[in-house]
Amino acid sequence: MTASMIRVAVSGAAGRMGLRVCALLSERSDATLAAAIDRAPIASLPTLHRDTPIDAIIDFSSPEGAIAAAELAVERGAALLVCTTGLGPDATASMEQASRHVPVMLAPNTSLGVAVVRRLVAAAATMLGQAFEIEIVEAHHARKKDAPSGTALSLASALSDAGRPVPAERIHALRGGDVVGEHEVWFCGPGETIRIAHQAINRDLFAAGAIRAACWLAGQSAGRYRIEDSLSPAPEARS
């Protein structure tokens, strides 16, 4: 292992996304799997020990698992990337507390493309103004529990930050089949409609994006970050 290699712990390592993150880490030259964390040890994957060095934690578990990951991040001084969706007030408060000590990023979608889309929709909302109505449409596989998706809510947040809050009734969620993830923002104006869309082709997109974001986050100071911050060379943490 080189001196610059990022040592990553994966929380929720036995899940679909956790397993893919672990697999892709084995192919990286800039990051390595330091520990696979789940309810029970996973054969052939490294387990967490008291003296295991960790630079970053990637969480794809549950709201309860995310809280445990936040506590571990503070204990080990590791950056924390939380990709778990459906976080309640307790988990959100735990992330806020952790961000006072370590860099924390909440990223329901780690796709580089979605990070770009967040910026695009915010820019479009600012340029188009109030004359255009906004609708958000998202689709996922039938097994996804939360609706609307965390990504759809993050798009709504980006639009709200740009001065165009989107009412809940204008965020539409579709569930069916094995759709990996599709998100589209409609700007409907007089005589024209603009659509900004993103389609995920496979889930490795999110696993690779999580590793990229975690490696970037490991080099930041304590505070809260968003996925699009990793597109900029030197963002400032949010207080």
Catalytic residues: 140, 144
Distance between CA atoms of residues 69 and 39, nearest Å: 13
Alpha helix (H) ranges present in 52-175? 63-76, 89-98, 112-128, 150-161
Residue with the two structure tokens 């539409």: 172
The contacts of residue 89 (CB under 8 Å, 6+ apart) are none
Structure tokens at 204: 């490795």
Which residue in 105, 92, 23 sits closest to 63, CA to CA? Answer: 92
CB 103 within 8 A of CB 223: yes
Distance between CA atoms of residues 223 and 239, nearest Å: 6
The contacts of residue 83 (CB under 8 Å, 6+ apart) are 17, 58, 59, 60, 107, 108, 110, 206, 210
H-run or E-run covering 215: helix 204-217
